[in-house]
Structure 1
Amino acid sequence: MATRLFSIFLGCGALLGALSAAPALAQSNDTLASPDVVSDSDINHNNIEFGAFVGQVSIEDFSSGAVYGLTLSYHITENLYLEAQGGVAEAGETSFEVLSGGAPLLTEDERDYQYYDLAVGYNLNGEIFFTDGTTFNTDFYVQIGGGSTDFAGDNRFTLSLGTGYRVLLTDRIALRLDVRDRIFSTELTGEQKDTHNLQYTLAASVFF
């Protein structure tokens, strides 16, 4: 598991370097091909995005519950960005606890589910047309990252995989739909296994 994750992060680092170089090369070629001067007012300098989200998380072997948290992103280029995210939720009961009516598997404090991670993301830019005169810029994006999950009285290294859709209502305000799968190893049910913890959220964010 550790070797596989290390290989993934090495691949992300290589991808980060390649994608960072590509836009610069493309811009250089465009500059040579076109003498047009772009005014400063046409350039969006807002590359920091701060957001808040709320949604639902399904913690494997436990019931689903509400999740909420914050995101902070730095957009390196139009397509490439880094994002930090932190969230909290509370795990419900396992099916065994519900059916048996016996002693709970976890205490109330151990049911607290908290996480943070740092991810590399890539945007695919587009547009959405509501009417003939109303058009919004959009992004479909994918992410891969890693972090930590505090659950059941222990901190666990977590691999984060995600995708989402962003609609930019203005130059500064956006709405986002996100799907994340946070994967960490646990022995709570008596055997060592990797758990998949799916999260669906709606977020509002602001660029500055």
Structure 2
Amino acid sequence: MEVHRLRLLFLTLLLASVLPGCAWFGRGRDAAPEAVAAAEVPTGESREQPIIDPQVERREIKRPQIDTEDFEIGVYGGILSIEDFESNPVYGARLAYHLTEDFFLEATIGQSRAGKTSYETLSGAAELLTDSERDYTYYALSAGWNALPGEVFIGKNRAYNTAFYLVAGIGSTRFAGDDLFTVSGGFGYRILPNDWMAVHFDVRDYVYDTDLLGEKKIVNNLEAHLGLSIFF
């Protein structure tokens, strides 16, 4: 019995000395993650700060300065083919009002001078028209549509606004002493080298009825011209 009591006392003392140490080590393991986490985050820095802070270099962009005025006035010159009366130089002026970016109204006035018919040239003496009757003047009021707006590039660093447009209108032609009701139509190409000026290339057809040569017929007078205009 005495031996059993000694063994029991020895085991009691052994357990009393071992268990507090195990509890201390357990507390140390629980506290370790907090200590590591505290060491990973520097003092005074936010946990939401991004890991990567990219430095993007901004490019300087120049915006196109297109004139916002709606009126356009200009002059032009070219060649007019007067049916039966040769092709002759023509010059004129135009005034346009841009209703929107796509549509515009245009008023034009042009002047040329008719040549001689083949009959006059071959006969040598016969004159179908007097000198003043050979003056050719037309007026037209047209509506236009910018069908294909775009840009043209010259070199690597230059781009100019352009537009391919269609026009149709009505007007009057004074020729051979008569005022003739005229229907006109055609197309053009516009380039804007800067914000207040435009360069035009146009092809027009002026159609009217006439019996000047003894038989009534519809004539087509084709015109091609190059023009320069400004916005105001």
Shorter chain as denominator, the TM-score bin is 0.7 to 0.9
Structure 2 residue aligned with 1:154, among 168, 173, 178? 178
CA 1:206/1:199 → structure 2, altered by over 3 Å: closer, same or farther? same
Which structure is richer in relative contact order (CA contacts within 8 A, separation 6 or more)?
1
| Cα distance in 1 between the residues matched to 2:74 and 2:66 | 22
| Cα distance in 2 between the residues matched to 1:107 and 1:117 | 25
Alignment-derived partner of residue 143 in structure 1? 167
Aligned length in residues = 168
Alignment-derived partner of residue 14 in structure 2? none
Mapping 1:63-102, distance limit 5 Å: 63-102=86-125
CA 1:187/1:169 → structure 2, altered by over 3 Å: closer, same or farther? same
Alignment-derived partner of residue 187 in structure 1? 211
Mapping 1:1-208, distance limit 5 Å: 44-123=67-146, 124-208=148-232
SS of match in other structure, 2:97: strand
Over residues 27-62 of structure 1, what are the superposed CA-to-partner deviations in whole Å (9 max), with x where a residue is unaligned?
A: xxxxxxxxxxxxxx9674211010100100000011
Higher normalized strand content (fraction of residues): 1
Aligned amino acid, residue 86 of structure 1: I
SS of match in other structure, 1:50: strand
SS of match in other structure, 2:194: coil
- Structure 1 runs not aligned, ≥5 long: 1-40
| Cα distance in 1 between the residues matched to 2:134 and 2:161 | 40
Aligned amino acid, residue 163 of structure 1: F
Give the TM-score, by structure 2 length. 0.71
Identity of aligned residues (%): 50
Over residues 79-134 of structure 1, what are the superposed CA-to-partner deviations in whole Å (9 max), with x where a residue is unaligned?
A: 10000000100000001110111321100000000011100000121100111101
| Cα distance in 2 between the residues matched to 1:45 and 1:102 | 57
Greater than 6 Å deviation, 4+ residue runs: none
CA 1:131/1:43 → structure 2, altered by over 3 Å: closer, same or farther? closer
| Cα distance in 2 between the residues matched to 1:197 and 1:135 | 35
Q: Which is greater in Rg?
A: 2
| Cα distance in 2 between the residues matched to 1:199 and 1:180 | 5
SS of match in other structure, 1:97: helix
Contact 2:94 2:108 in 1 (8 A): yes
SS of match in other structure, 1:155: strand
